[in-house]
Amino acid sequence: MKTYYKEKQDDKSNFDNNNTVVKPMKNPYLLERDEVLTRQQAEDVLEKIVQEARNYEVDLRGLFHENTRIKRKIQKNLTYTWEFPINYIIQGADTELIDKALDPMQNETCNRFKKQSTIPHGQPGLKFVKERRCWSYVSRTEECKFQDVSIEYECSTHDQSRADRDQYLTILEDNMKLGLL
């Protein structure tokens, strides 16, 4: 079974420097090319896929070893809820681009951000850094620590913004809130 998670580390970056030249589509720690999952999040995704397959009576016996499924222990807060405003700091990434990207999020959603000049000790937040690829954890994963969001030049255009996106994506307008289309 392929691993789609990366154990978090307490160093400067959540990835080691030996891994920075890996092509996004070949990086085993990424889901959807730029999302990093914690071990628990990866297990949750796998569990949902297995359950959905069972709902459709798909035979999965040949895909997993007998000991693949891990019995879960009750754990507290595997993912934390963001409290607004979300503190953020920019270190080495394109400051103007990130600030411009956050403006419409604040104007069109309930999300609020507060730029910091230094990382406040013991507080959660986002640390935008420039690495050789784009990635971030899904949701808030740290209780009292800033978590990395890696931004590089090619991050400014994601799949949903590509000119040929309609060949690969279907927008379900019925699932969108009125006025947000």
Alpha-carbon distance of 55 to 104, in angstroms, equals 40
Q: Is residue 38 in some structural domain?
A: yes
Number of domains within the chain: 1
Residue 171: inside a domain: no
Going by pLDDT thresholds of 50, 70 and 90, the confidence category of residue 102 is very high
The answer to whether residue 175 is domain-embedded is no
Give the pLDDT confidence score for residue 91 in this predicted structure. Answer: 93
Find the range with the poorest average confidence among 2-6, 59-63, 154-158: 2-6
**In a domain? residue 6:** no
Q: Is residue 178 part of a domain?
A: no
Q: Show the tokens assigned to 158.
A: 């994601």
- 3-state DSSP assignment of residue 137: strand
Task: Establish if 55 belongs to a structural domain.
Answer: yes
Q: Tell me if the pTM is above 0.75.
A: no
Average pLDDT estimate for 162-171? 72
Instruction: State pLDDT tens for residues 4-62.
Output: 444 444 434 444 434 444 444 455 556 666 677 777 777 877 788 888 888 888 877 76
Residue 17: the pLDDT is 39
Is residue 9 included in any domain, yes or no?
Answer: no
Instruction: For residue 148, list its beta bridge partners.
Output: 127
Which residue would you say has higher pLDDT here, 12 or 97?
97
Dist. CA 118–CA 90, nearest whole Å: 9
**Domain range enclosing 133:** 17-152
Residue 157 domain flag: no
